[in-house]
């Protein structure tokens, strides 16, 4: 059974940094693309970033490009999202997802709140 468990969310001041983690199990982590998707309170889903399954290609939404960095540790089956220069509009529940042609598994999410 696929399991994706996010952690690392919390309250951070504007301009601050946070690193999210997603521990993956139940599938061959190295062969699948992994992504982060976020949902602001009361809003819809927004794609944030994707790390390709093979190779090291990374992709970012324009709203986070230059501020967020996605990475993965294949030895730990873990996906990360380093978030710098955080803004109020980054406040959201951040989900870890598997796959790149349809996100076919979702974690439960970790909440990031950017506020002074």
Partner 1 sequence: QPVLTQSSSASASLGSSVKLTCTLNNRHSTYIIAWHQQQPGKAPRYLMKVEGSGRYNKGSGIPDRFSGSSSGADRYLTISNLQSEDEADYYCETWDINSWVFGGGTRLTVL
Residues interacting with partner 1, by CB under 8 A?
A: 35, 37, 44-47, 50, 59, 61, 95, 100-109
With 0-12 CB in 10 A as exposed, 13-18 as middle and 19+ as buried, what is 73?
exposed
- Cα–Cα distance for residue pair 72/92, rounded to 1 Å: 21
Nearer to partner 1, 16 or 71 (CB): 71
Nearer to partner 1, 35 or 78 (CB): 35
- Cα–Cα distance for residue pair 80/16, rounded to 1 Å: 17
- Cα–Cα distance for residue pair 57/71, rounded to 1 Å: 10
Nearer to partner 1, 27 or 82 (CB): 27
Query: In the complex, what is the shortest distance from the CB of residue 28 to partner 1, in angstroms, rounded to a whole number?
Result: 16
- Cα–Cα distance for residue pair 96/4, rounded to 1 Å: 7
Query: In the complex, what is the shortest distance from the CB of residue 72 to partner 1, in angstroms, rounded to a whole number?
Result: 17
Query: In the complex, what is the shortest distance from the CB of residue 104 to partner 1, in angstroms, rounded to a whole number?
Result: 5
């Amino acid at each position: 059974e696929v399991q994706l468990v996010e952690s690392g969310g919390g309250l951070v001041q504007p301009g601050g940094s946070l690193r999210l983690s997603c521990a993956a199990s139940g599938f061959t982590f190295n062969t699948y693309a992994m992504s982060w998707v976020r949902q602001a309170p009361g809003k819809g889903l927004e794609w944030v970033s994707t790390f390709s399954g093979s190779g090291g290609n990374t992709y970012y939404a324009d709203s986070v490009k230059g501020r967020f960095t996605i990475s993965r540790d294949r030895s730990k089956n873990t996906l990360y999202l380093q978030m710098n220069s955080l803004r109020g509009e980054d406040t959201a529940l951040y989900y870890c997802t598997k796959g790149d042609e349809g996100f076919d598994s979702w974690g439960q999410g970790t909440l990031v709140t950017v506020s002074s």
